A and B are shown apart, each in its own frame.
Chain A
Amino acid sequence: MQDALLRFARNRLALLGAVVLLLVLTMAAAAPVLYPAGAFALAGPPLQPPGGRFLLGTDTLGRDVAAGIVYGARTSLMIGVVATLAAVVLGVLIGAVAGYYRGKPDLALMRITELFQTIPSFILAILLVAILSPSADSEIAAITLVSWPGIARLARGEFASLGGREFVLACVGLGAGDGRIVFRHLLPNCASPLIAVGSLLVANVILFESGLSFLGLGDPNLMSWGLMISAGREVLRSAWWICTFPGLAIVATVLAINLIGDGLNEALNPRLRDR
């Protein structure tokens, strides 16, 4: 594990990603200190350009864009992390059962997984949020439900290939139960690819969330980058800053997480080492 960290630290792009993500995290954590009034407060006259009293200008209602960015970071990261964790847990659970037991459970679970993969995921997410009524919880639920199949397939492959190894057989011979084999032996051995893919999933989930809020399906009580872009799109030509800054925030965050994910993948994947 220490080797992996060292290899990660040697990857400059991944390190850059980590620094950017750290900035976004600090911003999100410091939001109440920086803007105690919140993201929805009317801070001044509408459509103020960047610079001057407002660092990033104000929107059509006179809300501070910078405050929106900072509070939007909280929403994006919160939903990104929670939905990814939920998707990974669900995906690993399903993939583990399918890959470890094989046979009929495998057949059934993989057909279900394929069913989910054939439906365009964003449309399914929109549908789910629309049915559940827009809120942070329903966003998380919807994104989780469309994100797990990839993880499940990966986990199934890893569990299936590890399941035939001699150390697992040795463990069966010692009298170990399924739970012990799965959680003590198999899961730690496929943690590396799961961490790498899971970190990339966070970026995907953030994009999903922005898309949903852009369509007005986000939580109305939470400021979100997608919502800001949506609100500013009608005045894009006269007040470019309202859309541009949240857009840049999305790009920077997603790119940073992707770089970290790639870095982790390279650091943790033994086949890519020593290149």
Chain B
Amino acid sequence: MNDAFALGPPALSIEGLSIALPPGADRPHAVEQLDLKLNPGEITCLVGESGSGKSMVARAVLGLLPPRVRIAAGALRFGATDLVQADETRLRAIRGAEIGMIFQEPMTALNPLHRVGRQVDEVFRLHTDLSRRARRERVVQLLADVHLPDPERLYRAYPHQLSGGQRQRMVIAMALALGPKLLIADEPTTALDVTTQAQILAQLRELQRERGTSVLFITHDFGVVADIADRVAVLQRGRLVEEGRRDDVLRSPVHPYTRLLLAAVPRLQAPRRRAGNLGPPLLEARNLRKTYPRRGFGGSATVALDDVSLVLRRGETLGLVGESGSGKSTLARILTCLARVDSGEILLGGEALARLGRRQLRPYRRRMQMVFQDPYASLDPRQRVGDIIAEGPLIHGMSRAATRARVAELLNLVGLQETAAERYPHEFSGGQRQRIGIARALALEPEILVADEPVSALDVSVQAQVLQLLANIKGKLGLSMLFVTHDLRVALQVCDRIAVMRAGRIVEMGEAADVYAAPSHPYTRALFAAVPGAHWEQSHAAEPVS
């Protein structure tokens, strides 16, 4: 199929849309002069980095722009209606019935006080005059359609009793309840684990095909695009830079920005590494166990680590991979002695750490430093960057004058200017803050760097830069690294060996290339299969990439 054979009139036609931001924002318009047609029965992915204005487009279509943000020009033609001109009454009749919506956070999309069945039922109550019984049948049918187990029982469940994936299915069921012509999905799977994400995407695709719904799918993830899109539109700072069929855009992008974004996505393959014997064991974990006590009444204890053993050798990067709740972050914190272990032993260069007191630990701390996930929460907002970086050396007895030179040196190392030392964290972007966090960790000249999801809060292009920086520093300083991530693409790119965690256990551990080429545990296989874009990439791997 190509563009010449249009599939009838577009489901939604965005014409010259400009969305004005309030004065004082970083740019006058969130979106400028956007022209985009959504073909009926197709999924159009609107892709962009944070701040590109992609979510604003979704909200504009629904007439749900935030306060002080308004549509400055353009039209949103939905059938015979221009959604820009339509009044609130008309919009309310369209929302939910003719245009469905799915948002990112499934927890906040459902009212925690109402049973989920009733919430789906509400859609029918508002937009149809079906009888109580007919509505109930329809709801149960819908829950079955989105493959929720035991719909009759789930009808009576409260949102908190469902898993994240089940909640998002519920939201999809609500969005599709009245058979809308158009579905707006704003990052609907971003908050979910990869395996759940893969299931939800497959399901969304299946339902969309069955019902011929048009979908405007907002995402930042090119893997998701490859899995689900018919067409792709790329936004850069509010401007549409490229638009076309999925395979064309992904395989032969025209605009430099699209090329840059695509190049920044780590390939799903293990790069060939220097074979060679790695150094002696540096950090060793033996039979670690950790249980979090039950919280409140009726809660149950959580087993975070269940007999975990691993070895980090000098000079290697060990990846710790798993989904949320697998215990990978707990393990990272226990290895760096930021959390206490219930039983088991941690050996750093042969010396046991697990039972040491705080004061006794201090000399060992400088040998192991951590880089945190959230570049916003991990820097003290009231301290200057220079003081943040200098803190470690000061604690360990370096003089103030000496730290100043050290701070300048470190800022250079992580690619920031020396003047950054005088500024506060809020003046920096996410990627720059992560560089500051890395500089702080390096200030003590550690032997081991433990990075807990260091790039997962960053945009893909910034992510590539930070990964590059980590690789450079590791080579230059001869560090050993423990790299915690949920992203298998990143893990394959940076890690020599990979340990796959699930429910507090390491289910598989081995050389990255081996784990990728021949995963032995079924869970590892499921993880690799669920990586967004994996199928597309494999089926197009043979073809040349321009």
Contacts and interface: CB of A to CB of B under 8 A. Distances in A.
Interface of A: 165-167, 169-177, 180, 184-185, 188-189
Contact of B372 (A169, A177, A180, A189): A169
Contact of A166 (B365, B373, B396): B373
Interface stretch (B92-100, B233-241, B376-384, B473-481): B376-384
B392 interface: yes
A174 B378 contact: no
A22 to B, nearest CB: 29
- Which one of A172, A174, A184 has the greatest number of beta carbons of chain B within 10 Å? A174
Contacts of B444: 174
Interface string B262-288: 000000000000000000000000000
A171 B370 contact: no
Contacts of A185: 380, 382-383
B377 A173 contact: no
Contact of A189 (B333, B370, B381): B381
Contact of B365 (A165, A167, A173): A173
A128 to B, nearest CB: 37
3 tightest CB-CB pairs across the interface, nearest first?
Answer: A166-B378, A175-B365, A174-B392
B64 interface: no
B141 to A, nearest CB: 44
Interface in B295-318: none
Interface in B478-527: none
B477 to A, nearest CB: 18
A169 B391 contact: no
27 contacts: A165-B377, A166-B373, A166-B374, A167-B379, A167-B380, A169-B333, A169-B370, A170-B370, A170-B437, A171-B380, A173-B338, A173-B365, A173-B368, A173-B369, A174-B365, A174-B392, A174-B395, A174-B440, A175-B365, A175-B366, A175-B396, A176-B391, A177-B358, A184-B383, A185-B380, A185-B382, A189-B382
A4 to B, nearest CB: 12
Contacts of B379: 167, 170
B362 interface: yes
Interface in B369-412: 369-370, 372-374, 377-383, 391-392, 395-396
B328 to A, nearest CB: 16
- Which one of A166, A171, A184 has the greatest number of beta carbons of chain B within 10 Å? A166
A112 B373 CA distance: 38
Contacts of A184: 383
Contacts of B361: 175
Given A175-B396, A185-B380, A170 B366 contact: no
Nearest to A178: B358
B336 interface: yes
Interface of B: 333, 336, 338, 358, 361-362, 365-366, 368-370, 372-374, 377-383, 391-392, 395-396, 437, 440, 444
A188 B379 CA distance: 13
Given A166-B374, A185-B380, 12 more contacts: A165-B378, A166-B372, A166-B377, A169-B338, A169-B378, A170-B378, A172-B338, A173-B368, A173-B369, A174-B392, A174-B395, A176-B391
A167 B396 contact: no
B391 A174 contact: yes
Contact of A180 (B368, B374, B395): B395
B396 A173 contact: no
A175 B382 contact: no
Where chain A touches its partner, the secondary structure class is helix
Contacts of B437: 170
Contacts of A176: 391, 395
Contacts of A169: 333, 338, 370, 372, 378
Contacts of B358: 177
Contacts of B440: 170, 174
B34 to A, nearest CB: 27
A175 to B, nearest CB: 4
Contacts of B366: 174-175
B351 to A, nearest CB: 16
A124 to B, nearest CB: 34
Contacts of A173: 336, 338, 365, 368-370
Nearest to A162: B380
Nearest to A187: B382
B392 A175 contact: yes
Nearest to B382: A188
- Which one of B370, B372, B373, B380 has the greatest number of beta carbons of chain A within 10 Å? B380
B391 A171 contact: yes
Contacts of A174: 365-366, 369, 391-392, 395, 440, 444
Nearest to A1: B382
B362 A175 contact: yes
Nearest to A164: B377
A82 B374 CA distance: 41
Contacts of B382: 185, 188-189
B125 to A, nearest CB: 35
A172 B395 CA distance: 11
Nearest to B336: A173
B482 to A, nearest CB: 13
Contacts of A167: 377-380
Nearest to B361: A175
B160 to A, nearest CB: 22
Contacts of B373: 166
Nearest to A168: B380
A165 B396 CA distance: 23
A264 B379 CA distance: 25
B397 to A, nearest CB: 10
Contacts of A171: 380, 391
Contacts of B374: 166
A139 B529 CA distance: 73
